[in-house]
Structure 1
């Protein structure tokens, strides 16, 4: 059965989830942890030790999503020299809403020498859904970002609803990456897009150049493909029929890149 459409009073948008971290002495602290309509930010143990300036937070769902008309917004600010790691513990499903659009938006601002690690969980576009997913990040001088992202087209045994995923990562000199992936109708089956694959799993780095993959056949080589950006950054991607197959391709590289950032 189609999921219910959610309605909100006129001129009253759902409350966004807000996270802000800042430097304090030789450590870091949460300056803002503001629960939104859909997600609550919760600090994770093992955060900043003296001199580390590294904080971790999990996004916990507090309301069913994504239903037709949902508008999930997350706003993040990372202060100078601070590392913020955001974890999505559970995946998300855009449910059958008879084509009514739902939205998920991340807007992040990174100050000078800040680091944001976004460890996303799989996002499933069920049949009958219509999802717009946007990620917009502004990086200051010396700032770096690493994003893990998994898009799943349809639940087991079903086709996906329309899905559009836009990513824009911008630095002091302009865009690192501006991508608009439009998977409406038969387009995802086109040659050079997804073909017969059901899952697109990615790790994206910007503001720095991760170490290159080993040569073919070398230790640690995976089935994922690496694309180097014109500016400092890279994307590693795997296409597969299932999420765990795709993850096998990107996980080793994502973990390696994360170690480089935190090392």
Structure 2
């Protein structure tokens, strides 16, 4: 299994944010095959998040584990540097759940960071079930998601970005996603939501929430066997990657509205990865 330190790569300014507190150690999770099942090789509590195994993981003949990330310190404040490092061994499926949303609070413009770095070995699967991420007025956030996939590995990420709490504007938010395969990038996106550019046509316009499900390493099936939209598609749009992968995205005024458009698709893709029947296709 690759080491967590092997997470490649080019990054955007890797230094900690100005004013970062000492001892902001990362949360580390590593899973590996064990006989016919899988086991946690590492569950290392970080400064902000504690990984906790969740029932319903690996059973007989199933190399599947689940873990929840539990907040143990208030975050995100100015100078906070939340880092999560994940390693998934060959043939293992790891599902990571964020039980609660996260708010980047008013920090008078001082930057904070949230970073996920994951390495997936051959045939590994990572399902990241993210909760809403809220950039409050006065916050300043750099959010990075970097996943390196081995041969035959697959990843599915659910993400919801919320610009400001109710009745307020958001602080600057930059969200970088890079999903890299053995031979090429599946996705390299730099979403810059700082200043007036976030309201530009083709970015967010008047929307306050961007909800998405992103798949790489395989091309998820069409929403219906015929390729048309299924219930729940609504204002969501599917984007095809040049390499194997796709994303479904929706813009809306509230997280609830956006999730209503993307969650049925996310659940369908997730069920496919877990080998469960799609209830919508079965209907």
Q: What range describes the TM-score normalised by the shorter chain of this pair?
A: over 0.9
Aligned 8 A contact 2:223 2:229 in 1: no
Cα distance in structure 2, aligned partners of 1:18 and 1:217:
39
**Distance in 1 between residues matched to 2:61 and 2:120, nearest whole Å:** 19
Deviation at 1:173, TM superposition (A): 1.1
Which of these residues, 190, 198, 205, is aligned with residue 180 of structure 1?
Answer: 190
Stretches of structure 1 lacking an aligned partner (at least 5 in a row) = none
Deviations 1:156-182 (A, max 9, x none): 000000000000000011100000000
Is 2:144 the counterpart of 1:144?
Answer: no
1:92 to 102, 105, 122: 102
Number of the residue aligned with 1:164: 174
Shift of 1:70: 0.2
The Cα of 1:123 is off from its aligned counterpart by 0.3
**Structure 2: which 5+ runs fail to align?**
1-17, 276-283
**Rounded Cα–Cα distance in structure 1 between residues aligned with 2:20 and 2:190:** 28
Please name the residue that 2:55 is paired with: 45
Distance across 1 between alignment mates of 2:75 and 2:114: 10
Structure 1 residue 243 and structure 2 residue 234: aligned?
no
Corresponding residue to 1:75 among 81, 85, 90: 85
The match for 2:203 is 193
Partner SS for 1:255? helix
Q: Please give the secondary structure, in 2, of the residue aligned with 1:169.
A: strand
Taking structure 1 as reference, are residues 62 and 228 closer, same or farther at Cα in structure 2, changes over 3 Å only?
Answer: same
Residue 138 of structure 2: which of 128, 137, 141 is its match? 128
1:22 aligned residue: 32
Partner of 1:8: 21
Task: Give 1:55's aligned residue.
Answer: 65
TM-score, normalised relative to structure 2: 0.88
With over 3 angstroms needed to count, the CA separation of the structure-2 counterparts of 1:212 and 1:155, relative to structure 1, is same
* Matching residue of 2:3: none
The alignment's C-alpha RMSD in Å is 1.3
Q: Residue 266 of structure 2 corresponds to which residue in structure 1?
A: 254
Q: Which residue pairs with 1:211 in the alignment?
A: 221
Task: Return the alpha-carbon distance in structure 1 between the equivalents of residues 99 and 26 of structure 2.
Answer: 19
Q: How many Å apart are 1:14 and its aligned residue?
A: 1.0
Distance in 1 between the 2:20 and 2:187 partners?
Answer: 34
1:232 has 2:244 as partner: yes
Tell me if the contact between 1:6 and 1:67 (Cα under 8 Å) persists in the aligned partners. no
The answer as to whether partners of 2:68 and 2:98 remain within 8 angstroms in 1 is yes
Matches of 1:241 and 1:186, distance apart in 2 = 17
After superposition, the C-alpha distances for 1:136-170 in whole angstroms (9 at most, x for unaligned) are: 00000000000000000000000000000000000
Task: Give the C-alpha shift of residue 219 in structure 1.
Answer: 5.0
